[in-house]
């Protein structure tokens, strides 16, 4: 039986190997993103997983913060922003306040059972039903 940190370490080891293969050098340091709703123990388990995987975990940051950083929002004036995250299996929104380059998650909410895959399935089901209605052919058989 493996702990959550050990399972996470297996994933991070594979990601580390992939990165090293692509970069052609050894990867030592990592910044790991986690969902904004992760609590302190989940964040610590993530950090532990990185260490088990042989990584020096520099920081564990919220996914919405990572998205805002990717768009350079830390280099603009102070503001409050909303970050939508439509993942494969989740749909989240986080409200962040940015002041002097420091991010603070003010609130986060979402549906962990609604995401991109759900929209894909709904669209395919709709198209199959429309095709059957128009052509009289059931594509599910």
**Lowest model confidence (mean pLDDT) among 17-31, 99-113, 123-137:** 99-113
pLDDT, mean of residues 103-119: 85
28-86 pLDDT tens trace: 999 999 988 889 999 999 999 999 999 999 999 988 888 888 888 888 889 999 998 88
Name the nearest CA neighbour of 48 among 101, 105, 8: 8
The count of domains in the chain is 1
- Mean predicted lDDT score pLDDT of the chain: 91
Domain that includes residue 26, residue range: 4-135
Write down the pLDDT at residue 63: 87
Burial status of residue 46 (CB atoms within 10 A of its CB: 0-12, 13-18, 19 or more)? buried
Write down the pLDDT at residue 37: 82
Question: At residue 23, does pLDDT exceed 80?
Answer: yes
Both tokens of residue 56? 């020096």
Write down the pLDDT at residue 3: 92
- Residue 69 domain flag: yes
- Residue 12 domain flag: yes
- Residue 141 domain flag: no
State the Cα–Cα distance between residues 39 and 52, nearest whole angstrom.
20
Write down the pLDDT at residue 111: 84
- Residue 140 domain flag: no
Helix axes 4-23, 40-52, angle to 10 degrees: 50
Residue 141: other Cβ atoms inside 10 A? 5
């Amino acid at each position: 039986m493996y702990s959550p940190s050990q399972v996470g370490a297996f994933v991070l080891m594979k990601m580390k190997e992939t990165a090293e293969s692509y970069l052609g050098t050894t990867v030592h340091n990592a910044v790991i993103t986690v969902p904004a709703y992760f609590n302190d123990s989940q964040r610590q388990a993530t950090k532990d997983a990185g260490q088990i995987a042989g990584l020096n975990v520099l920081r564990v940051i919220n996914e919405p913060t990572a998205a805002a950083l990717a768009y350079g929002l830390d280099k603009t004036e102070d503001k409050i922003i909303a970050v939508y995250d439509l993942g494969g299996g989740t749909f989240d929104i986080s409200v962040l306040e940015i002041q002097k380059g420091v991010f603070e998650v003010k609130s986060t909410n979402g549906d962990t059972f609604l995401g991109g895959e759900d929209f894909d399935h709904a669209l395919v089901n709709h198209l199959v039903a429309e095709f059957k209605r128009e052509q009289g052919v059931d594509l599910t058989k």
